Amino acid sequence: MNKNRMQDIQKFRRLYALKEVYRHCSVGNRKESVAEHTWSALMLADYILTKSKIAIDRVKIYELLLYHDIVEIEAGDIPIHHEEKRIHKQENERKAIVKLNKQLPKEVADKLAFLFEEFEAQQTPEAKFARAIDKLDATIHELDYKEDWKGWNEKMLRKYHDHAVSVFPETKKLFEKIVAYVKKNDYFRK
């Protein structure tokens, strides 16, 4: 391996820090890492795309999901319902992109900046689908952790997810089935 390649690998290792950024969601006796969320979102996207046969660029969706939360290495994860903490989220994430771009190999940094912008802009069908998957993944994950639903209600769930999942009939239909399941199984406890 040449010297430049090893320098790139040393920079590339910065991405491994995503394993150490934790989300609000539980996993056993700990919190879920952002890297785990990325993996499960990729799996969910692949499942839904395979099952539904949506005519959309799968590779682009996978890339968007793979890169969408990398900024959290620097900016951290802020749960969707912590609205007061989300006020400066976009500004902090933009600063995180700048900082990460200096730390990563050029090819990765360029791709991160491009894909992050596409995901945030929500102008392409792929970005919209990736956002719907991002929302669905968190909701599906929490089906195994009923205690995490304390304080939530249907209105809150819809407030934070409806706009994203409603863009595609397939994701909207799945979301509605999840809402019905959650209501039937008394997840919305006070």
Q: Look at residue 66 in the predicted model and tell me its pLDDT.
A: 97
Q: Look at residue 190 in the predicted model and tell me its pLDDT.
A: 59
Q: Look at residue 26 in the predicted model and tell me its pLDDT.
A: 83
Q: Look at residue 24 in the predicted model and tell me its pLDDT.
A: 84
- Write phi, then psi, for 97 (nearest 5 degrees): -60, -45
**Whole-angstrom Cα distance, residue 24 to residue 164?**
20
The number of beta carbons lying within 10 Å of the beta carbon of residue 61 is 25
The number of beta carbons lying within 10 Å of the beta carbon of residue 86 is 13
**Whole-angstrom Cα distance, residue 15 to residue 5?**
16
Q: Look at residue 110 in the predicted model and tell me its pLDDT.
A: 95
**Whole-angstrom Cα distance, residue 24 to residue 72?**
13
Q: Look at residue 85 in the predicted model and tell me its pLDDT.
A: 62
> Mean pLDDT per segment of 10 residues, for the chain of length 190 residues?
80 92 87 93 97 93 96 79 68 86 93 95 97 96 91 91 96 97 88
In the numeric block, the tokens 């394993």 are attached to: 19
* Closest C-alpha to 24, from 39, 13, 14, 36: 36
Write the CB contacts of 56 (distance below 8 Å, at least 6 apart in sequence): 49, 125, 126, 129
- State the number of CA atoms in the 13 A half-sphere of 183 facing the CB: 11
* Closest C-alpha to 189, from 140, 159, 154, 142: 154
* Closest C-alpha to 75, from 135, 8, 17, 12: 17
Q: Look at residue 99 in the predicted model and tell me its pLDDT.
A: 93
Indicate the class that CATH gives domain 21-184.
mainly alpha
Q: Look at residue 79 in the predicted model and tell me its pLDDT.
A: 67
